[in-house]
Structure 1
Amino acid sequence: MALKFSVLVSQFLYDRQAVLKAVSWPVLVWESPPPRPDPHVALARSTLSNLRFQRPVPAEPLVFELCKRTPGAAEITLGRTPECDIVIEDATVSRLHACFRREPHTGMWHVVDAESHNGTFQAGVLIVPGRPTPLFDRASLRFGGVEMSFLQASAFEQYVQARAGSAVRLTSVG
């Protein structure tokens, strides 16, 4: 399930420790998901006079926790079908596009392309299907045409600061 970025950030600023405990880190941030159509706006768009005053409004970023919906499985799946753990409603994303795995001994996260039609990319480089690719604190990923950031808790803090231009410290230095 996706969380709204603004809601998570406001909770983070209000009670950092509670969010650090409640969220399953790492997370994926979808910076520019497509805007959802508003049925009330459709009527306003039908008149020519309203059309020239409308400006496109970017959709709010969405945050996805990397966690299984059903316990016991070794991988976290990402794709278009409702059976996936992380559902991305975008035509360029395959039904089962990629999987995330956490190495139990080292705690290192990996992404694996599931032979998707449009490919999985890390930092602009195509990932070989079936081959685990390590992910670090702040990795840039693309699933088909969907660009996301893989963020651990400390990287999420940096991401929030860069996006908001804030000097607020959210996590402890250690």
Structure 2
Amino acid sequence: MAIGSEKRRLMRNLDGYRSKARSMTRTEFLAEHGEPVFVPTKILTGGIHKGQNRARNATMMHVDRYSNVNPLKSSRAMSLEPAGSRQSRRDGLMIGRSADCAVTIADYTISKSHAVWRPGRFPRPATLEDLGSSNGTWLNGEKLNKAAPKPIKSGDTVRFGRIVVDFLSAKDFYERLRSGKL
């Protein structure tokens, strides 16, 4: 699935972020990249459930066969800022396979509208909510129930279908880039 130029801008290669983190102060980096990010860390192995509809536009069911994982071939960070004018950050950002989502993950285990991330407003924390996706959304190993938002904080591990990501605040993202942990 092609990603529009606005989306391409939001899903930068980690090398670009590393370069900026090394050349900027934390204040400068946060001024330019102040939004939290999802950083892909692994893809679960397994296969497609044979009984599933294999229509081109359908979400295919993924069956995890192994507990081991494979690293992603190219790491990209997905910034949680609105892409164009489609969505307001205040209302939450849609995550899914559809080009209409603020964060697009082009993978057969991701539903068109998979989950939604909502920023926190004091005193409420940021939340992550599964939207009834076929392959589920997991937060720190716990499967999320449909329409039941759960608090999410920097450092949490999230799984969308078979894609595993780390959720990082902009500050923690900067620190990990500078320390070489990313």
Identity over the aligned pairs, expressed in percent?
A: 22
Picking from 4, 8, 12, the partner of 2:17 is 8
Picking from 76, 81, 92, the partner of 1:62 is 76
- 4+ residue runs over 6 A deviation: none
Please report the RMSD computed on the Cα atoms of aligned residues, expressed in angstroms: 2.1
Partner of 1:76: 93
Aligned-partner Cα distance in 1 for 2:18–2:139: 25
Picking from 118, 133, 136, the partner of 1:101 is 118
Aligned-partner Cα distance in 2 for 1:58–1:86: 17
Structure 2 residue matching 1:108: 3-state secondary structure:
coil
Matched, 1:133 2:150: yes
Size of the aligned set, in residue pairs, is 141
Structure 1 residue matching 2:156: 3-state secondary structure:
strand
Aligned-partner Cα distance in 1 for 2:17–2:42: 16
Structure 2-normalised TM-score? 0.70
Work out whether residues 38 and 166 of structure 2, in 8 Å CA contact, stay in contact via their aligned partners in 1: yes
Segments of structure 1 that go 5 or more residues without pairing to the other structure are: 34-56, 165-174
Question: Aligned-pair distance for 1:140?
Answer: 0.2
Q: Which has the larger radius of gyration?
A: 1
Opposite residue 97 of structure 2, the aligned amino acid is R
Structure 1-normalised TM-score? 0.73
1:127-160 Cα shifts (integer Å, max 9, x gaps): 1111111111211000000000100123224433
User: Whose RCO is larger (CA < 8 A, sep 6+)?
Assistant: 2
